[in-house]
Chain A
Amino acid sequence: MSTKSERLILMGNQAAAEGALKAGCSFYAGYPITPSSEIMEMLARRLPKQGGVFIQMEDELASLAAVIGAAWTGAKAMTATSGPGLSLMMEGLGYAAITETPCVIIDIQRAGPATGQATRVGSGDLLQARYGSHGDYCPIALSPWSVQEMYDLTIRAFNLSERFRVPAFVLAEEAVGHLRETVRLHDEIALVERNREVGPPPFGHDQQDGVPPMPAFGDGANLMVTGSTHDEWGYRKVESPEQHARLVERINRKVLDHEAEIAEVDAHFLDDAQVAVVTYGFCGRSALAAVKALRAQNLRVGMLRLKTIWPFPDQAVRALGKSVRHILVPEMNLGQLVGQVRERVRCEVTQLNQVNGEVIVPADIEARLREIIS
């Protein structure tokens, strides 16, 4: 995909900002919050220089609101936040889902609930991103484990968001956001551009993939955008059972039916593994170190890293459940994703949880794997 590229040492949050610029982001609205603020501060400097817009809003409700308003003018728009801000964004998230507005939310997760530990790590926002707004919707959420992936997956989040007209998350942990390591900034990257065709219904149900074209304000489409249940043209239909079911089912199906296209996983040592770690985000780094240590002793362990959290990588986890006898799911929360794994496999599943604001270290995963093996 890439021919030329530049190598730099960056912080994860900076790499995410670079990725956003590369993806064509031209609008940022946000509200400062640790540990995400470096993204905002970098875009405050860079966006205006290249003709984009940066604005600091009065809160996170307004931030996502401004992002959605901008997205409807045709812009690729984003915000970044952390748990407390994400809680306020739940309102806008549901609105973006039902109006099918592409936008990117980078969430640098810290230890919650509430203010919790602002500078400490956690993976506590997975279920909030998926289920935190009322009603049924399915956002896309990607989980980077390195500075490189902060860059790559931010670009991918923009692409998927435009492709499916859905809000897309980069759900990173503080430890990845503040990690510094080498990153390759690719020069040539395939970007997805929105279909702005004027004419077909902008909330229509006829498209095979469930994604209607999205003209922008000012394109002459006389758009009717509403967060109330609406028909294919945007007319409110707040009492029709059929219209409501049709809309809600389509906005969910268009994501879930494309799990194969969206969900990415990263397999390590799985060919002959009898025990596997299913992991995501920063924890994947510790898991890989643990797996390598055990492999050095000829123990048949492997690891499946979920680069996509939502839609959940159904196929890959089901397949894994058939090839191993035991799965370990380490998480920096009290078990937010382990249930998704259990639902899909018949083999034994063990969880390893830690909510002390620190990363799970390789030794802990290694010790638990040893217990499972013996």
Chain B
Amino acid sequence: MTRSMEHWLRVPHTAFCPGCGHGILLGALVRAVDELAIERKNLLFVSGIGCAAWIPSPNIEVDTLHTVHGRAVAYATGAKLANPKLTVIVVSGDGDLSSIGGNHLIHGARRNIDMTVICANNQIYGMTGGQTASTTPVGACTATDPEGSQYRPFDLCALVNAAGAAYAARWPVSAPRRLIASLKTAIQTEGFSFVEAISPCPTQFGRRNRLDDVTALYDQMQSLCITRQEAETLSKQQRLERFVIGEFNDD
């Protein structure tokens, strides 16, 4: 049985490029809030700056706060504390949440204030033309690392868990059912919950890394996904080259 989700949407189409994963995440997100039957009036989406920050704004027809680059969690903290009745959901990019906004992210997790933070991780700065992010894999080519990035990417779920998050999960957008389930769990979890959605960027990441073909880009993303059990057999270094998927709330 399917239900139309159009009543959640404010505009007839999104601004995302063909093949961008952010639109799939948008679809998963409205399904999650729809299934949870949250009172729309009390739903607040907060985002930073970047393509991912456009997922809620203007697309989702609820209260939206599209802020400045990196600070979405801090804005959300103020809104949630001042009106605890709000269900506060932050949606932003990897660059936004973890490069410029990394400090706010870990302090959000540390405070464990009730909010959900969703990171659309395309491993690059999409909006500004494909520069290196703090999530770019070693060796991946970007506009600012034409010979390949040299520094290790963050493991965002491990980062927020270490800082005190109540719940963390990572799924590729190509696993929408598990993604929706985790989004629902995250929204229902009291405290700071975090969902990382691996969301391919054909325009900026694929194009620079011999993955111009969207299908090839998605195939590659899926081939890199491994379960936590599979990850246990790998070294820390090897794990950073993969996407360890699943829920990370058991420690």
Contacts and interface: CB of A to CB of B under 8 A. Distances in A.
Do A and B bind?
yes
Contacts of A220: 41
Contact of B74 (A61, A219, A223, A224): A61
B83 A74 contact: yes
A201 interface: no
A226 B64 CA distance: 8
B63 A218 contact: yes
Interface string B96-109: 00000001100100
Contacts of B74: 57-58, 61-63, 65-66, 69
B81 interface: yes
Interface string A138-182: 000000000000000000000000000000000000000000000
Interface in B61-75: 61-68, 71, 74-75
A227 interface: yes
A162 to B, nearest CB: 15
Contact of B75 (A65, A219, A235): A65
Contacts of B57: 224, 226, 236
Interface in B176-216: none
Q: Which of A74, A217, A221 has the most CB of B within 10 A?
A: A217
Nearest to A216: B83
B130 to A, nearest CB: 20
Interface string B47-87: 00000000001100111111110010011111111110110
A27 B63 contact: no
Interface residues of B, number: 31
B128 to A, nearest CB: 14
A222 interface: yes
B86 A62 contact: no
A270 interface: no
B44 interface: yes
A222 B11 CA distance: 13
Contacts of B67: 65, 68, 95, 227
A234 B81 contact: no
Interface string B10-31: 1000000000000000000000
A103 to B, nearest CB: 10
Interface string A71-92: 1111101000000000000011
A15 interface: no
B82 A53 contact: yes
Nearest to B56: A224
A227 B66 CA distance: 7
B150 interface: no
B66 A69 contact: no
B104 A69 contact: no
A221 B81 CA distance: 20
A225 B64 contact: yes
Contacts of A27: 78, 81-82
A2 to B, nearest CB: 29
Nearest to B83: A73
Given A55-B81, A65-B68, A227-B66, 18 more contacts: A26-B82, A29-B78, A62-B71, A65-B71, A65-B78, A66-B81, A67-B78, A69-B78, A69-B82, A72-B79, A73-B86, A217-B79, A218-B63, A223-B63, A224-B57, A224-B66, A227-B67, A236-B66
Interface of B: 10, 41-42, 44, 46, 57-58, 61-68, 71, 74-83, 85-86, 103-104, 107
Q: Please give me the 6 A-B residue pairs with the lowest Cβ-Cβ distance, nearest first.
A: A69-B78, A66-B78, A70-B82, A65-B74, A62-B74, A73-B83
